[in-house]
Amino acid sequence: MSKEMILIVDDEENIRRTIRAILEDEGYAVREADSGSKAFTQLQDGQVDLVITDVWMEDIDGLKLIDFINNSGIDVEIIVISGHATIEVAVQATKKGAIDFLEKPLSFEKLLLSISNALKHRKLKIGNRWLLEQASREVQLIGTSPAYQKLVHDIELAAPSEGRVLIYGENGSGKEMVARSLHMKSLRADMPMVDINCAAIPDELIESELFGHVKGSFTGAHETRKGKFVVANGGTLFLDEIGDMSLRTQAKVLRVLQENAVTPVGGTRSISADVRIIAATNKNLAQAIEDGSFRQDLYYRLNVIELHVPPLRERIEDIPPLANHFIQQFADERKVPPKTLVPKAMDMLKMYNWPGNVRELQNLMERLMIMVRENTVTVQDIPYPINRSGDNDDSHHPLRLKEAREAFELNHMMKVIRMSGNNMSKAAELLGIERSYLYRKLKQYGIEPETIRQNKR
C-alpha cells in the first residue's frame, strides 16, 4: 500500500526539516518546497495528498498558493501554519478551503492529529466520489426504441426541476432506475437519495420507517430513530409502490408534503424535511381513487410530472443492447470473459413476452453467465419457458406434444390480452372463454392476472 504524500511549504529550512523528520517517523512520504512557486511546480504530478503551508512567504504567500491550487483543480487537502497570522487570515484560509489552521510554535501532537483528520477527510471524499461515479454508471438508461427515447427525453426535462414525479410501470420494468436517473441529473445529486418500498413494510411499521420514532413510543422502540424523510433531508425520497400504502399513512404523508416537516411517532416536535418526492407504482391510481383505496388529494400532490416506463415487450429492439449490457456487467464483476449469444438465441429472446420485464432479462443473463460453460450461448442454452419451440435447427431437445400445445396456448392468450389493452374481460370474450377460466389458465403458467389488470391503460 502506497504512503500518503505530504508537501511541506515554508521558507524556514529548520521548520521544514523538523516537520519532515516527525512525519517520516510516522510513515508518511514527504516533499519540501521553500516557496509557493516551487510548491506549485511539485503539485503538478498529482502525487501529493496533503499540503502544509506557511502563510508569509516572499514570492507567493500561503493564501495565494491556495488560490492557485483551487484555480488549477489540483485535488489536495491543505493545512495552514503561521506564527504571525491574525484571526482574519485564519478565517480567510478556511474559507478558501484549508481544512485546519495551526499557530507556530507548533504542537506536534496537534499537527499529527490535524494531518490524520485531513487524510481521513480525503479518503471519505475520494470514496464518495467513487460511489457517485458508480451510481452514475449503474443508472445507465439503455434503449434506442422510440418509447424509451421519449422516456429518456422526459427525464432530461424533469430532472433539474423540483417538481414531484409519479412513475408508472410494470414490475421489473425499471422504475427505480428511472428514479435514480432523475436524482443523479437533479440539483440535489450531491445529497442522498433514500428509497422505501411501501409494499414490503407492514402497515404498523411504515410510519416509523417514514417519520421516525422516539424512544419508548411503542413496544420495541428501544432508541430514538430518524425516519426516511429526515435522512433524505436536502435530497430525494423515492416512495416505491406508493399504491400499496394504507389510507392512514397516505393522510400523514399528505400532511408532511403540505408542511415540509415531520413529527416522529410518539414525538411532539416537528422536524424540517426538505425533500423532493419521486413516487412509483404498478397500479392504476385513477382506478384506485374510484375504488376508495387511494386519496385523490395525495394523488394530485404527487402527480406533478407523470412518467411511463414501457414494458420490455413494447421495446423489442432494446433487448439485444440490454442483454449485452448485463452480460458485460456480470463479466466485469466476476472478472471473466463475456459470453456471446448466437443470432438465433438473440432472436428467441426477442420473441418472448417477458412478463418479468427487464429484471427477468437481467436474471437470465446472470444465469447464462454462470451456467453456460462455453463462451458462446446457443439456442439449447436458453431455458424454458423462453425456449418453447422444438423446430429450431440448433435445438436437440424438441418439446413433447403437451409442452408444445401449452406453449402455443400461453403465447396466444398473451397476444389476445395485449390486443385488448390488458382488459381481462375483453380478452376472455375474444378467446371465447369465461374470465375466471382465463385467470386460472394464467395462474397455471405462473402469471398473476392481477399484475396484468393493474397495468391496463
Which DSSP string do the residues of 67-135 spell out, in sequence order?
HHHHHHT---EEEEEESS--HHHHHHHHHHT-SEEEESSP-HHHHHHHHHHHHHHHHHHHHHHHHHHHH
Report pLDDT for 162: 94
Q: What are phi and psi of 147, to 5 degrees?
A: -65, -40
Report pLDDT for 394: 39
pTM of the model: 0.60
Q: Which secondary-structure segment (H or E) carries 195?
A: strand 193-197
Which three three-digit cell numbers place residue 394?
440448433
pLDDT in tens, the chain (457 residues): 457 899 999 999 999 999 999 999 999 999 999 998 899 888 887 788 999 999 988 888 889 999 989 888 788 999 999 887 678 888 888 899 899 999 888 898 999 999 999 999 888 877 666 566 555 555 678 999 999 999 999 999 999 999 999 999 999 999 999 999 999 999 998 888 899 999 888 888 899 999 998 888 888 888 778 889 988 988 999 999 999 999 999 999 999 999 999 999 988 888 888 999 999 999 999 999 999 999 999 999 999 999 999 999 999 999 999 999 999 999 988 889 999 999 999 988 998 999 999 999 999 999 999 999 999 999 999 998 888 754 444 344 455 676 667 767 777 888 788 778 778 888 888 888 988 888 888 877 667 676 565 555 4
Which three three-digit cell numbers place residue 423?
382488459
For residues 426 and 419, is the Cβ–Cβ distance under 8 A?
Answer: no
Q: What are phi and psi of 404, to 5 degrees?
A: -65, -40
Helix-helix angle 319-334:357-371, to 10 degrees: 50
Report pLDDT for 132: 61
For residues 371 and 336, is the Cβ–Cβ distance under 8 A?
Answer: no
- Beta pairing partners, 215: none
Q: What are phi and psi of 237, to 5 degrees?
A: -115, 120
Pairwise CA distance, residues 165 & 454, whole Å: 19
Pairwise CA distance, residues 352 & 340, whole Å: 19
Report pLDDT for 393: 40
Report pLDDT for 403: 61
Q: Which residue's entry shows cell 428511472?
A: 178
Which three three-digit cell numbers place residue 371?
451456467
| All domains in the chain, ordered by first residue | 5-134 (3.40.50.2300), 140-310 (3.40.50.300), 313-397 (1.10.8.60), 399-457 (1.10.10.60)
- Dihedral over Cα of 395, 399, 401, 405: its sign: negative
Pairwise CA distance, residues 101 & 66, whole Å: 13
Enumerate helices (H) and strands (E) in the chain, giving the number of each: 19, 16
Report pLDDT for 129: 64
Distances (CA, A) of 17 to 9, 24, 28: 11, 10, 14
For residues 139 and 182, is the Cβ–Cβ distance under 8 A?
Answer: no
